[in-house]
Amino acid sequence: MRGLRVLALGILTAFSTPLHSGSALEVMQTRSDMLGWEAVGRLDLPSGFCTGVLIARDLVLTAAHCLFDRTAATQIDIHGAVFRAGYLNGQSLFERRVISYRMSRDFQYNGPVMMAKDAALDVAVLRLDRPVSHEEAAPFLIHNGRQTPDQVQVMSYGRGREQSMSWQPACNVLRQSTQLWEFDCDTTFGSSGAPVFAMEEGAIRILSLVSGNWQTQDGSNRTIGMKLGDLVATLSAQVKGTTRPVSRAPTGAKRITVGQNRPANGAKFLKP
């Protein structure tokens, strides 16, 4: 995938659009639908919103390009940014303010079209003003990436589904390079930063984040996500002001496995 140009699915300014009929996405309707997904939420920013996911009691993972302004000229002022876990129709399971963040110094974002080398670094770790309790949510672990899954699932907010999370319970891993994954997931504007989950050791873990997409000659949508590797641990240590990687989060609440028959839920991300 060298030289691939990726359309970043950045920040969505909230507006209502009907969800297209026939979508493979399942929209969460009630709090009971969100059981097991409490760590996924909407990240409200000064210029719009993205999707984020808890990876520690006080850390949220999202796409780095979400933290740039609309002109892509400068990084946003994080003041006023809020992580709203399990956001549904104006209400959240809990909310925390974002007080700082870190991304790779080598990441460059100059507009909605990114080069593959930048999509590979499109990761940011945000620190919250106070930790989330064990009763509120169980953070997700990062997939070790040593084995290639055949299928993944995506949780997201996005255009037409700003008020509730959507779940795509299964999409396929199509290709991989040393730095990127390619999926056939149903992503659109507003899906950036959404966690891409895969099974590992019997648990759902974060394999990648939605960075952007591209279209094939026949018009098929392809979602691009980065390989996380050690980058998340490095950024987590930096944002917490330590020199060590952050300790692994507990497995926490029971997770829903791919293909398990249960109510829908999900999360995605968008940018104009």
- Let me know the angle formed at the C-alpha of 91 by 88 and 95, rounded to the nearest 5 degrees: 110
Instruction: Give residue-wise pLDDT tens across range 169-216.
Output: 999 999 999 999 999 998 777 678 999 999 998 999 999 999 988 777
Q: What is the pLDDT of residues 23-36, one digit of tens each?
A: 477 887 888 887 88
Contact (CB, 8 A) for 8 and 56: no
Task: Please give the pLDDT value at position 189.
Answer: 72
DSSP 3-state of 242: coil
For residue 235, give the H/E element and its range: helix 231-239
For position 237, what pLDDT does the model report? Answer: 96
What domains are defined for the chain? 5-13+25-239 (2.40.10.10)
Q: What is the tens place of the pLDDT at every residue in 35-78?
A: 889 999 999 988 788 999 999 999 999 999 999 886 666 888 88
Task: Reduce the DSSP state of residue 236 to 3 states and report it.
Answer: helix
Which pLDDT score, from 0 to 100, does residue 208 have? 97
Q: Which two tokens stand for residue 254?
A: 């029971």
- Longest Cα–Cα distance of the chain, Å, equals 49
Q: What is the pLDDT of residue 23?
A: 40
The answer to whether residue 99 scores a pLDDT higher than 90 is yes
What percent of the chain lies above the pLDDT cut of 90? 47
Whether pTM > 0.85 for this model: the answer is no
Percent above pLDDT 70 for the chain: 78
Q: Is 29 helix (H, G, I), strand (E, B) or coil?
A: coil
Model confidence at 233: pLDDT above 80: yes
Distances (CA, A) of 165 to 42, 120, 126, 179, 183: 8, 25, 20, 28, 20
